[in-house]
Structure 1
Amino acid sequence: MTPEELSSAIATCLNEAVAAGDLAVEVPAEVRVERPKSREHGDWATNIALQLGKKAGMNPRALAELLKGRLEAVPEVASVDIAGPGFLNITLDAGAAGGLARAIVEAGAAYGTNDALAGHTVNMEFVSANPTGPLHIGHTRWAALGDSIARVLKASGADVTREYYINDAGNQMNIFALSVYNRLHGLDVPEGGYPGEYIKDLAGHVAAAHPGIRDLPQEAALPIIRQLAYEEQMADIRRTLADFGVEFDTYFSEQSLHAAGAVEDAVARLREQGHIEDRDGAVWLRTTDFGDDKDRVLIRANGEPTYFAADAAYYLSKKDRGFPEKIYLLGADHHGYVNRLKAIAAAAGDDPEANIEILIGQLISVNGARLSKRAGNIIELRDLIEWLGADALRYSLGRYPADSPMAIDPELLKKNTNDNPVFYVQYAHARSRAAARNAEAAGVDRSVFDGSLLTHETENELLAYLGQFPSVVAQAASFREPHRVARHLEQIAGAYHRWYQSCRVSPLSGEPVEDVNRTRLWLNDATSQVLANGLGLLGVTAPEKM
């Protein structure tokens, strides 16, 4: 019996009590069950009687007594105890408790998915680095976290679009083009320009794509250089992200907003909402009406739109494209954007508490990392991948909350020891696959399953952690915290290693294959499946061998 099946059984008992006239209360759509802190208190526990007691006009313990009688009639339930003011501690029949292993194997890759966020349509924007240089160490964390958040959201039933906003408008693109132009002509880096060997590489690409570029006057050459260098730099960014296991559904160009007149349209729409003010020759959005520390200029007195105007147009574009929920993952230096983005949502007639969510990620450092030879002044994501590996990076970044500063220890990540969390979890998966291969060689298959044979204390512990996995995924999605998945995988890995040392899947040489061996193979393979599913949510591979 899975936790979801037990939750459904409790809800059914409540509904039956209501139908019988024993209880008058609205039964929630989901009844939460959790593992008790002590296994002596049963397999699962629920506080539903405490939640509904007051609403039903009953003492919670009396409601628990009513529910206890009905639950004990459920075939898979062995016993129900009432603790304290009304907690229900539920012990499953041994076969039902062990039956979780079979349910996991049969569910396969779908185990852990849930419908906690069904009906939610989300635009998840992250990374969004300027296309003027390679991705660096700061983008590394946003790429890993953003992608993992999107994965747990999808696993919990949300319709998610991963989006990369390309800042390809504005003066930084002109400076970028001039930097490449100067490199083409052997000139110094322009003031405020981009140094680094990658500019030389881009210059070489431009020269190869447009052989006569050096002969053109600067005025004619710069637009061509800007476009060709931009396209090549974005291609480099996409390749690096792909090597990191991150794919985007949409690459949205800021320039497209300007070209389509979306910025002017946004100003007009916000004016219709009554939040625009003309002052000192400029056009202002009264963001102070919605908690911002000062009003923001949309159109300067010279008629030029600000970056903030593009932000407003971009928000409205997301709204128009059918995304009621918009998540922005921004860097540590973007705290000032929170109130102004929420003000845009409110000024557009949305609920800033429901329609926009802004996550601020803290910076990371890598002990001993060298500045990029190509870029000259940054630590490139490409170099980090080559040095430490995508799996080690993604897992390490995934196991901490976004708002937690962190330092990566390369020496630890390169160790094949239990001190290295990614090795610990990946090794558990590889070990489980080796156990399955050894079982096959010994003639053990899954032709028999008897959950009542899984009675060893390490089996109870392992089943408990496996059973919690779907609720952990749902919580990770709800709180936008994929590190919950990583930490839970470490608990599963620890429980698996303890079980592996205590319970044999394959019989000793010369001993017959028994049903307990076949049933343990189901548990072994269930563990493999959960570890693989969890690692997949973090964008980390599940190796067959190590």
Structure 2
Amino acid sequence: MTPADLSMTVLRAVRRAVDENALRAPVPARVRVERTRPGGRGDYASAVALQLAGPAALSARDVAEILRERVAGTPGIGRVEITGPGFLNFTLDASADAFATLMARVREQGPRYGHGDALAGDLLRCSHASEVRAAVTADVVGGLVRSQGARAHIGCDGVPDPDWARLGITVEAEEPFPAKIRPVPAGATAGELLRRLGPDATRWGLLRPAGHDRAPLGDDLLVQGEGNALFLVRYAHARVHALTRGAALLGVTSEPGEEPGGDEAGALLTLLADHPAALLAAARHRAPDRLARHLEAVARAFLDFHDAASPLPVGDEKPSAAHRSRLALAEAAGTVLAGGLSLLGISAPEHL
């Protein structure tokens, strides 16, 4: 179960409680769930009961109990607890069924895994300065909000730079809009950056830092080593494809049976389940850096998982159900990396 699935599950519980007259309160447009903070219980928590307590004329704990009864037992949710004044805490089911469901969703949706309709009906009308970092940021922000069902109309406050086309940017309108995208300027033109770094490293260098921070655009963006986050992300993606090629030669097919054990597999699974929420947060906050950091975390988690337990037989090992499950998890990581890089406008090569 993904965070988006969990949010919808709790929202359905609210609607059911209202329909059954167990809760007299307006149904919110959406329910927010967040990762449990250090020291908290479960995997996710929601303060929706505190939000509804006033309108319902009940204590938050009473509201939480009404919702808990209607959420408990939902496939994918292992345990629901009430803590503090009325927080709902959810522990997700780590069973083989939950693992298979997540793998099936990633496989079915492919690189569009995490796209949704949470922002359906919204219209983003914003413009950016005639400057390369603003132009690249606006381009990606437009793609992010569209991935969540919104419409976007992006304008430019000045004269577009012809070199932006080499970065895959098409200026939709040469007109200002009230909403502005104004990251710290790059301090160099698109042409200068392209000559030195090429399009992929240029886009990553401009997008990876938060908009209020200066973008480091040194030659280290071209280094093929673990210290270069762009290389790490693309290397992890290429490594997944190498595994797929190796599996084909060995006759091993991916099959999400039992969940791969180990802390490394668990960490990777958590990040893959969080991917839809990461995309939605990046879209809502107009912050491509959130997506870039998420992809970096997925890449590191995948490489840790790969090193801890190979998805392919080693030496005299025979292919087993464990190998097939690990391969399914690896392929899901590659799908997430490919989809995220595509939204950032960066290529995801199968060979490095």
TM-score, normalization by structure 1: 0.60
Aligned to 2:294: 488
Q: Identity rate of aligned residues, in percent?
A: 33
SS at structure 2 position matched to 1:403: coil
Count of aligned positions: 350
Give distance in 2, aligned partners of 1:518 and 1:101: 12
Q: 1:360 aligns with which of 162, 182, 188?
A: 182
Give distance in 1, aligned partners of 2:69 and 2:92: 15
In the TM superposition, residue 485 of structure 1 has moved relative to its aligned partner by 0.7
In the TM superposition, residue 50 of structure 1 has moved relative to its aligned partner by 2.1
Q: CA RMSD in A?
A: 2.3
Aligned to 1:397: 206
2:256 is the counterpart of 1:449 = yes
In the TM superposition, residue 21 of structure 1 has moved relative to its aligned partner by 2.4
In the TM superposition, residue 539 of structure 1 has moved relative to its aligned partner by 1.2
Amino acid at match of 1:125: S
Aligned to 1:508: 314
Aligned to 2:92: 92
Cα deviation 1:376-408 (Å, max 9, x = unaligned): xxx542232121121111111101232323442
SS at structure 2 position matched to 1:28: coil
Aligned to 1:62: 62
Give distance in 1, aligned partners of 2:283 and 2:340: 13
Aligned to 2:228: 420
Change (3 A) 1:14 1:164: closer
Checking the alignment, whether the CA contact within 8 Å between 1:64 and 1:88 is kept in structure 2 is yes
Give distance in 2, aligned partners of 1:166 and 1:29: 38
Checking the alignment, whether the CA contact within 8 Å between 1:35 and 1:464 is kept in structure 2 is no
Checking the alignment, whether the CA contact within 8 Å between 1:124 and 1:150 is kept in structure 2 is no
Checking the alignment, whether the CA contact within 8 Å between 2:134 and 2:185 is kept in structure 1 is no
In the TM superposition, residue 531 of structure 1 has moved relative to its aligned partner by 0.9
Change (3 A) 1:529 1:515: same
Give distance in 1, aligned partners of 2:347 and 2:39: 32
Give distance in 2, aligned partners of 1:58 and 1:526: 43
Give distance in 2, aligned partners of 1:528 and 1:41: 30
Cα deviation 1:473-521 (Å, max 9, x = unaligned): 2222222111111111111112111111112211223322222222222
Aligned to 2:351: 545
Amino acid at match of 2:186: I
Checking the alignment, whether the CA contact within 8 Å between 1:43 and 1:464 is kept in structure 2 is no
Aligned to 1:204: none
Give distance in 1, aligned partners of 2:259 and 2:118: 33
TM-score, normalization by structure 2: 0.90
Amino acid at match of 1:475: A
Listed as ranges, the matches of 1:242-391 within 5 Å are: 242-250=165-173, 252=174, 326=177, 356-365=178-187, 380-391=189-200
Give distance in 2, aligned partners of 1:20 and 1:141: 52
Cα deviation 1:317-355 (Å, max 9, x = unaligned): xxxxxxxxx4xxxxxxxxxxxxxxxxxxxxxxxxxxxxx
Give distance in 2, aligned partners of 1:455 and 1:83: 29
Give distance in 2, aligned partners of 1:161 and 1:20: 42
Give distance in 2, aligned partners of 1:518 and 1:495: 19
Checking the alignment, whether the CA contact within 8 Å between 1:2 and 1:103 is kept in structure 2 is no
SS at structure 2 position matched to 1:80: strand
Amino acid at match of 1:426: R
Change (3 A) 1:8 1:514: same
Q: 1:439 aligns with which of 238, 243, 247?
A: 247
Give distance in 1, aligned partners of 2:282 and 2:54: 30
SS at structure 2 position matched to 1:358: strand
SS at structure 2 position matched to 1:81: strand
Q: 2:105 aligns with which of 100, 103, 106?
A: 103
Checking the alignment, whether the CA contact within 8 Å between 2:205 and 2:216 is kept in structure 1 is no
Aligned to 1:330: none
SS at structure 2 position matched to 1:29: coil
Change (3 A) 1:118 1:507: same
Checking the alignment, whether the CA contact within 8 Å between 1:10 and 1:31 is kept in structure 2 is yes
Change (3 A) 1:126 1:114: same
The list of structure 1 runs, each at least 4 consecutive aligned residues, that deviate by more than 4 angstroms after superposition, is 164-167
Give distance in 2, aligned partners of 1:470 and 1:111: 7
Aligned to 1:15: 15
SS at structure 1 position matched to 2:29: coil
Amino acid at match of 1:95: A
Give distance in 1, aligned partners of 2:39 and 2:267: 8
Greater Rg by CA:
1
In the TM superposition, residue 472 of structure 1 has moved relative to its aligned partner by 1.8
Give distance in 2, aligned partners of 1:490 and 1:479: 19
Amino acid at match of 1:361: P
In the TM superposition, residue 164 of structure 1 has moved relative to its aligned partner by 4.5
In the TM superposition, residue 532 of structure 1 has moved relative to its aligned partner by 1.2
2:149 is the counterpart of 1:147 = no
In the TM superposition, residue 29 of structure 1 has moved relative to its aligned partner by 2.7
Change (3 A) 1:121 1:69: closer
Q: 2:119 aligns with which of 117, 122, 135?
A: 117
Aligned to 1:535: 341
Change (3 A) 1:380 1:26: closer
Change (3 A) 1:486 1:39: farther
